[in-house]
Amino acid sequence: MGNFPVRRLLLLFWLPLALAGCAVDGLTAPGTGMLVGSSLPPAGYGLPEGEFTDDPISIAIALPLSGPSAAAGQALLDAASLALFEAYDPRISLNPYDTLGTPEGAERAVQLALSDGAEVILGPLFAESIRRAAPLARDAGVLLIGFSNNRAVAGDGVYLASFMPDQEVRRVVRYATSKGHRKFAALIPDTAYGQMILKSLSDTLSESDASIVALEIYTRDSQEVFAPVRRLANYDTRRRAYLAEEAFLKALDDDLADEILKSIENLETLGEVTFDAVLVPEGGQLLRSLAPLLPFFEVDPATVRFLGTGLWDDRSLVHEPPLQGGWYAGVPVEARDAFALRYKTLFGAEPPRIASLGYDAMSLVALLARNEIRSERFTAAAIENPNGFTGVDGGFRFLPNGTTERNLAVIEIGKTGFRTVSPAPESFEK
């Protein structure tokens, strides 16, 4: 096990004091009324009221704590540490192991964690690392809760505490169709992620009378996105229509033609696009390159609804005018903001989007640890509770195939902030 960071040792002493006056948003198991953020469980559930048994519980967290992905790994570890301290269970120790961001490093880290007596393993972060480490955990009968969204590595004792892009697409597209959108366009990256997005879009639209009327696949290179957006917007055909109309009106050379010419002089094209909603499942700088190209090629955000995935969960997007009014499926804004405030207060920085996954995974483990029957704590039956759990990312439950089903809200990007336009469901469909 690597050295536990010095700031975490300091946190051990002053975090309880920092939290003493705070309301804690923890993780709830439906039907128990228990909040993991509370200092003690309620009477009648798990441990006796006001007492903790003295049997230690060792939890491992295997993440890239060095190398190119160290920032993401550190954020997950910080959030998991915060969850552990808010759970206030002195029996639990959270022991970090550095995977170095490689499959080989993950295998060594998990092997070491198991030899140290880990009862649950949080991580690794990447799909190939999970694939490499999973057989070790499986042979030891230890649950592994990874953070990849690649469902191919889930199942048989491996659970993914992540957001599944296909669920995000299904949620936002169903909402859009409920609001009358019927003709969809999509800009899809030429990746496995893009293929998953496209399949989910097609499957979701097949449930309704809506359809995909325009589709372009693009290479994830900011210099290679102009042509796909131009084709999606049918810009050249609409531009030729404008030039033809302009030439015709000029040839008429009368007052009425002059008035019409004046009314279209600020346009570049004639005719509307064939779609009323466009899905752009992109994030970061590439989204900032793609979004302005749509209105540049005469796709008007005032008449076409822009749709996204959880990659849009980025508060800086309020400064991107083309995305204002756009919808995406994500976690309830209020819970997310409350977690971000606590994280920033303790660690001095805004949490990256992935950090909350570490918090909820550790909170879930702390909840399961309160079962006084040790052999029933960390089992498939316990983690696959069909009623699910509620964390800072909203309601979620682990399915038998190892993936996570989430109750997602639909969020709208505004000029000054984000707002929920369709609340997350309060329970799961049976």
Please write the tens of the pLDDT for every residue from 79-103.
999 999 999 899 999 999 999 999 9
Domain membership of residue 416 (yes or no) is no
Of all helices (H) and strands (E), which one includes residue 29? Answer: strand 28-29
175 with 316, same domain: the answer is yes
CA 408 from centre of chain: 10
Domain membership of residue 415 (yes or no) is no
Structure confidence at residue 252 as a pLDDT band (50, 70, 90): confident
134 with 264, same domain: the answer is no
172 with 321, same domain: the answer is yes
Mean pLDDT of the chain: 85
Query: Which residue, among 134, 131, 100, 129, has the nearest Cα to 114 in the 3D structure?
Result: 134
- CATH number of the domain that residue 36 is part of: 3.40.50.2300
159 with 171, same domain: the answer is no
Q: Are 405 and 315 in contact (CB under 8 A)?
A: no
Average pLDDT over residues 191-208: 94
Domain membership of residue 289 (yes or no) is yes
Full-model pTM: 0.80
At residue 53, the pLDDT reads 57
Average pLDDT over residues 1-29: 40
180 with 215, same domain: the answer is yes
Q: Are 74 and 68 in contact (CB under 8 A)?
A: no
What percent of the chain is modeled with pLDDT above 90?
Answer: 66
> pLDDT tens, 297-326?
999 999 999 999 999 988 889 999 999 999
At residue 126, the pLDDT reads 96
> pLDDT tens, 21-56?
333 334 444 333 233 333 223 322 334 444 555 689
189 with 289, same domain: the answer is yes
At residue 22, the pLDDT reads 35
Query: Which residue, among 56, 75, 52, 53, has the nearest Cα to 64 in the 3D structure?
Result: 75
Structural domains of the chain, count: 2
Domain membership of residue 429 (yes or no) is no
Domain membership of residue 89 (yes or no) is yes
Q: Which domain holds residue 24?
A: 6-163+332-407
